[in-house]
């Protein structure tokens, strides 16, 4: 088994034959298993100064990534709220103002290029009577 720091990949001569990068260093199957287990547990694999693979802490998510996750959660809540709006329509119940406001707030989060991902999402109102 080999590891290449330039590609960040693992290579097996039985699979890759001679198509192994020139900077690849040989590692044991045991090392490979340890690295894979570490990766499953949230670590990342990086090369050390000699090009050998080691486990390291993953960097914290960036603000852009955190905002994207926040927006994804808001989108999920908006999708879930569609069922309530549908139940209102099916039962002839007017959509309550709180629900319209809630959904508008979620849409603002989803559509914003900037935002504060540290703020909690809007609180879902109580289900409308008759739905």
Concatenating the DSSP letter of every residue in 48-109 gives: -TTS-EEEEEPPPPPHHHHHHHHHHHHHHHHHHHHHHHHHHHHTTPPPPHHHHHHHHHHHHH
User: In this structure, are residues 31 and 85 in contact, taking their beta carbons and an 8 Å threshold?
Assistant: no
Q: Where are the domains of the chain?
A: 2-57, 60-131
How do residues 18-57 score in pLDDT, each as one tens digit?
A: 999 999 999 999 999 999 999 999 999 999 999 999 999 9
How do residues 65-117 score in pLDDT, each as one tens digit?
A: 999 999 999 999 999 999 999 999 999 999 999 999 999 999 999 998 888 99
Q: What's the pLDDT score for residue 88? A: 96
Q: Model-level pTM?
A: 0.67
Q: What's the pLDDT score for residue 114? A: 84
């Amino acid at each position: 088994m080999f590891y290449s720091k330039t590609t960040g990949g693992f290579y097996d001569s039985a699979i890759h034959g001679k198509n192994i990068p020139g900077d690849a260093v040989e590692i044991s199957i045991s090392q490979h298993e340890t690295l894979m287990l570490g990766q499953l547990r949230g670590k990342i694999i990086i090369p050390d100064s000699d090009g050998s693979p080691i486990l390291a802490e993953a960097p914290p998510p960036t603000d852009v990534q955190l905002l994207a996750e926040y927006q994804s959660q808001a989108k999920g809540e908006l999708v879930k709220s569609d069922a309530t709006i549908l139940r209102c329509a099916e039962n002839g119940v007017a959509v309550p103002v709180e629900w319209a406001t809630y959904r508008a707030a979620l849409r603002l989060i989803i559509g914003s290029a900037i935002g504060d991902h540290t703020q909690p999402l809007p609180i879902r109102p109580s289900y409308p009577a008759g739905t």
